DNA sequence: CGACGGCGTTCCGCTCAGCGGTACGCTGTT
DNA sequence: AACAGCGTACCGCTGAGCGGAACGCCGTCG
């Protein structure tokens, strides 16, 4: 079905354009035309024209070495209302967290089986995390992911648990039963932890930002630090109350 | 010529799609179809289909009351390499500034005669600024704008100075001569100030992030606070050195 | 209450925008 | 000198996309 959609989408102009834009992964900065052709499966001539059109519409920049997602796209993305207000409202709380811990602070949402990081703030001495603003990570091996999954409906939960759980490090939890127990505990405690499950040397606490109903989670906040100088448990309370406060603000906002 | 482009662009699928996306201003969260029709000038049927396609491609969300820019677009925008690395590298310095001042901190770039704000960080008690992440302001009445304009080439400078300078507040500098003198001083001092020129009750200092050549500015950093508790001058040094340090980091990055 | 205006949606036949195979010129590499 | 990979340019066929028209559904008038 995914195949199906990919193929169908390439039959429309818009589909082709998006295929080109989405050919850029979180790590790619500039891609030559040939690479775009390879990744999208478009005909060379077509890719050339589409890319040209995208440049004309300021979604791509032309550089010496190929194409690059442009500032116009960045700006457009920043107009997305839901995500932006979330980030804006969260900022003061994230600042507080950073100031107290001086460790890396994340704000993320769940998209299916992955976490999308909306913001990441940190100082000069921040831990070397693989996460990036706009990047993704699997839900099952990150604190944010676990706490969001814990508040998802049963259906989505089992979908993730029954899928394969990729082993990222020796400590990644890949046993569905164990993970399920951890999630139950996370709901109870109001926080989830990660102990080097996505990346060696990284520890993390996360708390959910809940809707007024107290069940569904719209986002999650986390603090991440390196093994050695950082222990997540002492920050559980801080993170939890920051997330709760943000939830309250958002509830007030959507009502008023 | 702008007219020309608008009309031409509506003759292509991509143009229509972009017209719809760009119909969303920084302040709009959800727009009904009829409004999209009005703003884009597309035929009703066409707008309907294009919007539908955009939903299918996850650039728009369909809601009860109309369409909304979606998280997919947000994510895509965050992939724009140049802007994102700028934000990422800047973050630690912005944090430092915030921690020292506890006032609103901005990172912005210039796009023609306007400033585009890439990031805005602040705490709970931040001044009520009209700026928003992803938002724009005229160059001539903001500290960031002035310091960026001051480092632009003569051509661009005169273009802005010869255009009409919109009066935003009683203190907005609308005299080209005076503005030019301020800019000259800003280059010399390494910072520009704003005294309630864009918004009543707001003061601001900004410093440029320069290329290794020491001339062209790629971005600018500012600290903004409310008249009364905040004086910009004492922070000139801090802002200037933060911007300089960021410039150095970026220079090192692009070389290595 | 009936007429009306604005809304979102659907339909359909015409046409030209877009398609992609083909070919070319330019590099570096073998 | 032959080659391989790149970006670019050309061009005739065709179906994707176009937009005018018509429809059903509300509210809001007179």
Query: Tell me, what CATH number does B67's domain have?
Result: 1.10.10.10
Please report residues contacting nucleic strand C, using a CB cutoff of 7 A: A 10, 13, 16, 42-46, 49-50; B 11-14, 32-35, 37, 44-45, 48-49, 66
**One domain, residues B230 and B134:** yes
Percentage above 90 pLDDT, chain B:
81
Which nucleotide is nearest, taking the CA of residue A67 and each C1'? D7
**One domain, residues B60 and B169:** no
Phi, psi of B60 (to 5 degrees): -125, 150
Last residue of a domain, one of B17, B51, B76: B76
Last residue of a domain, one of B76, B106, B136: B76
Indicate which CATH number applies to the domain containing B237. 3.30.450.40
**One domain, residues B102 and B168:** yes
**One domain, residues A201 and A92:** yes
Distance CA A227, CA B83 (A): 31
Give, as one character, the DSSP assignment of residue A167. Answer: -
* Tens-place pLDDT, residues A205-227: 999 999 998 889 999 999 999 99
**One domain, residues A148 and A200:** yes
* Tens-place pLDDT, residues B140-187: 999 999 999 999 999 999 999 998 999 999 999 999 999 999 999 999
**One domain, residues A199 and A128:** yes
* Tens-place pLDDT, residues A102-132: 999 999 999 989 999 999 999 998 888 999 9
Phi, psi of B163 (to 5 degrees): -70, 170
* Tens-place pLDDT, residues A152-183: 999 999 999 998 999 999 999 999 999 999 99
**One domain, residues B98 and B210:** yes
Q: Residue A50 in contact with residue A67, Cβ under 8 Å?
A: no
User: Into how many domains does chain A fold?
Assistant: 2
Q: Å between A42 CA and D13 C1'? A: 19
**One domain, residues A208 and A150:** yes
Question: Among B225, B187, B201, which Cα is nearest to B100's?
Answer: B225
**One domain, residues B90 and B133:** yes
Question: Mind telling me how many Å the CA of B80 is from chain A's nearest CA?
Answer: 5
- The average confidence (pLDDT) of chain B is 92
**One domain, residues A154 and A59:** no
**One domain, residues B70 and B86:** no
On the question of pLDDT at B9 being above 80, the answer is: no
> Which domain covers residue B57, as residue numbers?
2-76
**One domain, residues B63 and B111:** no
What's residue B127's pLDDT? 85
Last residue of a domain, one of A42, A76, A110: A76
On the question of pLDDT at B247 being above 50, the answer is: yes
For residue B61, the chain A residues in CB contact (below 8 A) are 82
| Chain position carrying tokens 């995500």 | A83
């Amino acid at each position: 079905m995914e195949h199906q959609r990919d193929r169908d989408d390439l039959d429309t102009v818009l589909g082709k354009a998006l295929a080109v834009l989405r050919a850029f992964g979180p790590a790619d900065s500039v891609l030559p035309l040939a690479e775009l052709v390879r990744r999208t499966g478009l005909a060379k001539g077509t890719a050339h024209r589409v890319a040209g059109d995208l440049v004309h519409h300021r979604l791509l920049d032309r550089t010496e070495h190929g194409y690059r997602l442009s500032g116009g796209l960045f700006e457009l993305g920043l107009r997305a209302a839901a995500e932006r207000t979330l980030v804006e409202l969260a900022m003061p709380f994230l600042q507080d967290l950073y100031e107290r811990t001086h460790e890396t602070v994340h704000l993320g949402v769940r998209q299916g089986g992955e976490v999308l990081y909306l913001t990441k703030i940190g100082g000069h001495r921040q831990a070397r995390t693989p996460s990036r603003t706009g990047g993704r990570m699997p839900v099952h091996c990150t604190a944010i992911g676990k706490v969001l999954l814990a508040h998802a409906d049963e259906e989505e939960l089992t979908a993730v648990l029954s899928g394969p759980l990729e082993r990222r490090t020796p400590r990644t939890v890949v046993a569905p039963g164990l993970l399920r127990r951890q999630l139950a505990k996370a709901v109870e405690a109001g926080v989830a932890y990660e102990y080097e499950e996505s990346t060696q040397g990284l520890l993390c606490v996360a708390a959910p930002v809940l809707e007024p109903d107290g069940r569904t989670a719209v986002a999650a906040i986390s603090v991440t630090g390196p093994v050695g100088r950082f222990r997540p448990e002492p920050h559980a309370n801080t993170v939890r109350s920051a997330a709760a406060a943000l939830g309250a603000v958002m509830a007030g906002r959507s009502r008023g």
